[in-house]
Amino acid sequence: MSPAVFTSITAYLVQQLLLVDAELEGLLPGAGEYPTSIHQAMRHSVFAGGKRLRPILCLEGGRLFKGDEKSLLRLGAALELIHTYSLIHDDLPALDNDDLRRGKPTCHKAFGEATAILAGDALLTLAFEIISAPSSSPQLRLQIVHELARAIGTRDGMVGGQVADLESESQGATASLVDYIHSAKTGAFLRAAVRSGAMEAGARGDDLARVSSYGEKIGLAFQIADDILDVTGTSAELGKSAGKDDQQHKATYPAIHGLEESRRIATRLVAEACDALAPYGERAGRLRQIARFLIERTH
Amino acid sequence: MSPAVFTSITAYLVQQLLLVDAELEGLLPGAGEYPTSIHQAMRHSVFAGGKRLRPILCLEGGRLFKGDEKSLLRLGAALELIHTYSLIHDDLPALDNDDLRRGKPTCHKAFGEATAILAGDALLTLAFEIISAPSSSPQLRLQIVHELARAIGTRDGMVGGQVADLESESQGATASLVDYIHSAKTGAFLRAAVRSGAMEAGARGDDLARVSSYGEKIGLAFQIADDILDVTGTSAELGKSAGKDDQQHKATYPAIHGLEESRRIATRLVAEACDALAPYGERAGRLRQIARFLIERTH
């Protein structure tokens, strides 16, 4: 990716992020709404500076099939609530025990453990409340709820991946375990993010299969890039403690495959993800740029 | 309630409980399914001996309007997963810090805190996965997802009530705060349980309003009865530490209104709940018996 293209996609992503943030602002209960502590905690973590990757994937997945902007934005924002729930719970002392997230105190550091646990619960619940709001296509919406719930569940979904990840710290990791963890912990939900946008826009059959393939491949590429950044980045760049994966004996691509091979695999996955969208030509330009951006970013 | 009626409704509830348990058995991932620790933890807490009150209310709410038994049973079982999620998280050290629940080790005592947090998350998620499964009436199902998510959220729902409850420990409680906590923490979900069954069976308008009124009143009566039992029951009867509300300066009805007045209020609420169903005559007999049972039980 040329520096000019990189700058252009970065600017585009910032613009999309602002759209998503405005939507989130309207969806979350106000910081002064009773009971205030939980609403403040939810807002603290949602507005701690995320990239809004999942909402943006949802938006672009839907735009590819000319979906309704307003519905896609709302759906995308709900995905970010789910993502934030997972971060809050992952950061808890009993799990990853992180004090910082994106350079700011984690939810339990700022609001205490009890409120953090409940804030995570509440964000997950609010996401389902939003996605299930009255819709002109209730059947599609019900399918989206179902798809998302599966993607973040225990069977090859986010919670399953998190459990496998925790267990791997004591067991040591093999290549297939790392693939399982990555696919379940982050891949399934990223795939569901782009799929849910496409589904909302009415995509089905081959269209949905192509978007799924794209989502699956960038999901893994994204996680490999994350693993690489944990080795090569500084804490200041990452907004969290660098090198933590290694200290915690986490299952990562560089640990199993080495840095160079990990980079090659990520690059190949991104190329395959872009190829999956070949039938759409330039209409899928943004999705291709995002895929390339994911492995070239530095934080 | 005569001893004969009490025995008969108890036997009926046990029979219904067995139906619900069989459904839960089929819905939960097997204890040997990967990753096993979380599935074992989910099963440990779901099968720790609950009364299955929410599923039974859902079933009876749906039967009143001749709903499909199979759909109601599945929906009811999903409600029990949500209830169990809330118990697991409530019991955590950062929240109520309970070692025992229904006479058995709480989830975090048996499986560790990390797994308990994730098991709660997973049960909530699985409940939404189940409720959003393909349905012959997707619009109704979507409404049910929405209704339930609201009932367990932060705005007058379960999590909001839990937060208010935690805050009340340090602030001291007033009558209106106790009413808020009870209504939000347990009332809203109990009301949604009986409503969701009725909705699944196609009830609307006045029918749904009557069921809502019943659910609201028994929800509060149930919680008052729980408060009373915490004062008058023994730990062996309750399967948890008796007198804990008072030690923790919890907001309860007996603390605010005294035991006798609390009993009077609960009895009045149950009578009003039964009256709300008067138009259905004997068809609502079970729902009336359940209402009376709730305040006469000893554990």
- Which amino acid is present at B178? V
Contacts of B8 (CB under 8 A, 6+ apart): none
Give the residue on A whose Cα is nearest the Cα of B38: A163
* Closest partner CB to B118 (pick from A128, A149, A159): A159
pLDDT at residue A151 tops 90: yes
pLDDT for B93 equals 98
Interface subset of A 35-74, CB within 8 angstroms of B: 35, 37-39, 42
Across the interface, whether the CB atoms of B155 and A29 are under 8 A apart is answered yes
Residue A194 · residue A57 · CB < 8 Å: yes
Q: Calculate how close chain A gets to B286, using CA atoms only, in Å.
A: 31
Q: Which of the four pLDDT bands, split at 50, 70 and 90, describes residue A233?
A: confident
Residue to test with chain B: of A28, A87, A140, A146, most B Cβ within 10 A:
A146
pLDDT for A173 equals 79
Phi (first) and psi of residue A203, to 5 degrees = -65, 145
Q: Which helix (H) or strand (E) holds B67?
A: none
Interval B162-194: pLDDT, tens: 999 988 877 777 999 999 999 999 999 999 999
* Closest partner CB to B145 (pick from A34, A115, A145): A145
Any B CB within 8 A of A94 CB = yes
Q: How many CB atoms lie within 10 A of CB A147?
A: 17
Q: Is the dihedral of CA B189, B191, B196, B197 positive or negative?
A: positive
Q: In chain A, what is the straight-line distance between the N-terminal and C-terminal CA atoms, in Å?
A: 17
pLDDT for B241 equals 65
Give the residue on B whose Cα is nearest the Cα of A38: B163
| Percentage above 70 pLDDT, chain A | 95
Structural tokens at position B126: 């699985």
Interface subset of B 116-155, CB within 8 angstroms of A: 117-118, 120-122, 124-126, 128-129, 132-135, 138-139, 141-143, 145-146, 149-150, 152-155
Any A CB within 8 A of B98 CB = no
Contacts of A70 (CB under 8 A, 6+ apart): none
Complex prediction ipTM? 0.96
Strand partners, B16: none
Average pLDDT over residues A38-60: 97
pLDDT for A168 equals 84
Q: Please identify every stretch of chain B with a pLDDT value under 50, giving residue numbers as ranges.
A: 299
pLDDT for A238 equals 62
- Which amino acid is present at A185? K
Across the interface, whether the CB atoms of B159 and A37 are under 8 A apart is answered no
Mean confidence (pLDDT) of chain A: 94
Q: Which of the four pLDDT bands, split at 50, 70 and 90, describes residue A256?
A: very high
d(CA A213, CA A231) in angstroms, rounded, equals: 28
**pTM of structure:** 0.96
Q: In chain B, what is the straight-line distance between the N-terminal and C-terminal CA atoms, in Å?
A: 17
Residue to test with chain B: of A86, A145, A181, A183, most B Cβ within 10 A:
A145
pLDDT for B253 equals 94
Across the interface, whether the CB atoms of B160 and A38 are under 8 A apart is answered yes
Contacts of A261 (CB under 8 A, 6+ apart): none
pLDDT at residue A299 tops 60: no
The fold adopted by the segment(s) B3-296 is Farnesyl Diphosphate Synthase (1.10.600)
Interval A160-214: pLDDT, tens: 999 999 888 777 779 999 999 999 999 999 999 999 999 999 999 999 999 999 9
pLDDT for A235 equals 64
Q: Calculate how close chain B gets to A188, using CA atoms only, in Å.
A: 14
Across the interface, whether the CB atoms of A167 and B35 are under 8 A apart is answered yes
Any A CB within 8 A of B177 CB = no
Contacts of B294 (CB under 8 A, 6+ apart): B53, B218, B221, B222, B225, B270
Interval A77-129: pLDDT, tens: 999 999 999 999 999 999 999 999 888 999 999 999 999 999 999 999 999 99
